[in-house]
């Protein structure tokens, strides 16, 4: 139902309809038509995953720390925009991270 004065939404409160904008009140003609429903907070649980999920691409690169020949890589703009980006590598075995300037 909508308010006759301002057109705002009328909600039931204390056995009357009350406008959410101007506060105007009106009598409820048929109480069985209205039902007040309260929102319940949804409880979210934390999911713990006991496995490593790889999302970065991998390439053949020798780790300077352990000698492994596979590394994840990503690019990052670490200097001015007119200069080349920096390529970072992370060893898939020992997780050592190093960078390569281009």
Catalytic residue among 4, 25, 83, 100: 83
Residues of the chain with pLDDT > 90, as a percent, come to: 33
Q: Is 50 a catalytic residue?
A: no
Residues of the domain holding 21:
1-34
Alpha carbon 82 to its chain's center:
32
Q: How many domains does the chain have?
A: 2
Q: Is 85 a catalytic residue?
A: no
- What pTM value is reported for the model? 0.48
Residue 74 forms beta bridges with which residues? 88
The yes-or-no verdict on residue 60 having pLDDT over 70 is yes
Catalytic residue among 41, 82, 85, 100: 82
Q: What's the mean per-residue pLDDT of the chain? A: 85
Helix (H, G, I), strand (E, B) or coil at 31: helix
Closest by CA position to 93, among listed 74, 73, 70: 70
The answer to whether position 97 is within a domain reads: yes
Q: Which residue has the higher pLDDT, 102 or 28?
A: 28
The yes-or-no verdict on residue 35 having pLDDT over 70 is no
**Do the beta carbons of residue 96 and residue 80 sit within 8 Å?**
no
Q: Which residue has the higher pLDDT, 20 or 36?
A: 20
| Residues 62 and 95 occupy one common structural domain | yes
Residues 6+ positions from 77 with CB-CB distance below 8 Å: 85, 86
């Amino acid at each position: 139902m909508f308010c006759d004065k301002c057109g705002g939404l009328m909600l039931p409160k204390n056995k009357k309809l009350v406008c959410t904008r101007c506060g105007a009140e009106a009598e409820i003609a048929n109480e069985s038509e209205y039902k007040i429903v309260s929102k319940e907070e949804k409880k979210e649980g934390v999911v713990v995953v006991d496995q490593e999920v790889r999302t970065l691409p991998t390439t053949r690169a020798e780790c300077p720390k352990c000698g492994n020949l596979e590394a994840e890589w990503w690019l990052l703009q670490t200097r001015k925009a007119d200069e080349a980006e920096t390529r970072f590598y992370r060893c898939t075995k020992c997780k050592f991270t190093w960078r390569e300037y281009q």
